[in-house]
């Protein structure tokens, strides 16, 4: 088996492994930003001689031809290739258990639901939707911030519930929900048609992310006083108090702090979206393969 792919990683926006036409091989594809600061010239997956002789493709040798600025970047590439292969393998493990059910990503604003959701959709062969974008399209307005300003948060939430209701009748979707979608029990009833996954990110990390890009698109933060980081952290802390029990109702929890600790680095900012996606698939598999899911409806029953 041989598959060769010449890639410019800086322009790639997808990830996965797929067959190369009639050739018995697969192309390895990487996510947006994977090649920042380096240039990947060639990736080749080639079967070992023993596997070729027996017409099997289980034993694979990975050969990489690249040009780097630093040795550290070469190490980073190898780690990234490993993550991509692990992600693909994990997706193949999970797909039979999903049985075409949708995946709903929940979490605070800035938690990476869209980025991780697109990776999951690509590797699973699903379609990706952002519920906020669907609400914007439904009401004919360009942003959630403008909907809040010209109508109200309640108006937005009503339309958000309608969008989730419509999505709940579909299959093979990854849906990135808005940060506040969890506050309405009716939304959980829609999401229980699929599998819900909470991306749990430390508040300090969220505040850094949001303050770095600005709060203009965050209607619940934009009018708060103070410097961007402080007002983001204070408001996120209040929202976390309000929504903590609701987020915990998700079928699976992906705790970024736990992933960073296992990697020997307490800073979640060093985690790649692929590593988070791998953890999400692992948690989904664990939920789908266990006999019961105690506590799943606790929030619904108490609301």
pLDDT in tens, 8-47: 333 334 444 444 444 444 444 544 444 443 333 343 334 4
Cα distances from 141 to residues 128, 267, 269, in angstroms, run 21, 37, 33
Question: Is there a domain that residue 32 lies in?
Answer: no
- State how far the Cα of 267 lies from the Cα of 88, in Å rounded to an integer: 25
pLDDT at 296 (0 to 100): 45
Q: Tell me which of 127-136, 155-164, 233-242, 270-279 is least confident.
A: 233-242
Does the pLDDT of residue 209 top 50, yes or no?
yes
pLDDT at 297: 44
Position 50 pLDDT exceeds 50: no
Q: Which domain does 7 fall in, by range?
A: 3-12+98-302
pTM, whole model, 2 decimals? 0.72
Percent of the chain with pLDDT over 90: 57
303 confidence band (pLDDT: 50, 70, 90):
very low
Identify the CATH number of the domain in which residue 119 sits.
Answer: 3.40.50.300
**In whole angstroms, what separates CA 293 from the centre of its chain?**
22
Is 73 domain-assigned? no
Mean pLDDT of the chain: 77
Q: Are strands 60-67 and 39-47 parallel, antiparallel or unpaired?
A: antiparallel
Domain-embedded: residue 152: yes
Domain assignment of residue 69, yes or no: no
Per residue in 89-100, pLDDT (tens digit) is: 999 999 999 999
What is residue 82's predicted lDDT score, i.e. its pLDDT?
87
Written as six digits, the tokens of 32 are 């947006």
Confidence bin at 227 (pLDDT 50/70/90): confident
Identify the pLDDT of residue 27.
Answer: 46
Q: Is residue 65 part of a domain?
A: no
| pLDDT, tens digit, 9 for 90 and up, residues 239-260 | 999 998 999 999 999 999 999 9
Burial of 117 (0-12, 13-18, 19+ CB in 10 A): buried
Question: Across residues 200-226, what is the average pLDDT?
Answer: 74
Residue with tokens 């690509």: 122
Q: First CA to last CA across the chain, in angstroms?
A: 56
Q: Tell me whether residue 84 is in a domain.
A: no
Looking at the domain assignment, is residue 273 inside a domain?
yes
Segment 158-181 mean pLDDT: 97
Q: What share of the chain is helix, strand, coil (3-state, %, to 5)?
A: 50, 20, 30
Q: What are phi and psi of 30, to 5 degrees?
A: -125, 160
| Count: domains in the chain | 1
With respect to residue 265, please indicate whether it lies within any of the assigned structural domains: yes
**Is residue 290 exposed (0-12), middle (13-18) or buried (19+ Cβ within 10 Å)?**
exposed
């Amino acid at each position: 088996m041989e598959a060769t792919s010449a890639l410019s990683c800086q322009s790639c926006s997808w990830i996965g492994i797929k067959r190369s036409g009639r050739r018995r091989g697969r192309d390895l594809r990487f996510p947006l930003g994977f090649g920042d600061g380096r240039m990947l010239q060639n990736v080749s997956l080639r079967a070992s001689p023993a596997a070729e002789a027996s017409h099997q493709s289980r034993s694979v040798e990975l050969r990489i031809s690249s040009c780097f600025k630093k040795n550290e970047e070469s190490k980073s590439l190898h780690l990234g290739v490993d993550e991509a292969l692990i992600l693909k393998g994990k997706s193949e493990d999970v797909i039979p258990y999903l049985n075409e059910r949708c995946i709903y990503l929940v979490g605070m604003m800035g938690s990476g639901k869209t980025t991780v959701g697109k990776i999951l959709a690509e590797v699973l062969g699903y379609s990706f939707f952002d519920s906020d974008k669907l609400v914007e399209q439904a009401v004919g307005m360009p942003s959630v911030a403008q909907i809040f300003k010209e109508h109200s948060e309640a108006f937005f939430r009503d339309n958000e519930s309608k969008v989730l209701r419509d999505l709940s009748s579909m299959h093979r979707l990854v849906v990135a929900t808005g940060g506040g979608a969890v506050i309405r029990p009716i939304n959980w009833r829609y999401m229980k048609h699929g599998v819900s996954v909470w991306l749990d990110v430390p508040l300090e990390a969220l505040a850094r992310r949001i303050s770095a890009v600005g709060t203009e698109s965050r209607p619940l933060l934009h009018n708060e006083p103070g410097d961007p980081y402080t007002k983001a952290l204070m408001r996120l802390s209040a929202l976390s108090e309000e929504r903590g029990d609701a987020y915990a109702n998700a079928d699976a929890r992906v705790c970024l702090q736990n992933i960073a600790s296992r990697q020997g680095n307490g800073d979640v900012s060093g985690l790649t979206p692929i590593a988070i996606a791998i953890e999400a698939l692992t948690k989904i598999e664990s939920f789908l393969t266990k006999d019961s899911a105690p506590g799943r409806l606790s929030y619904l029953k108490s609301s």
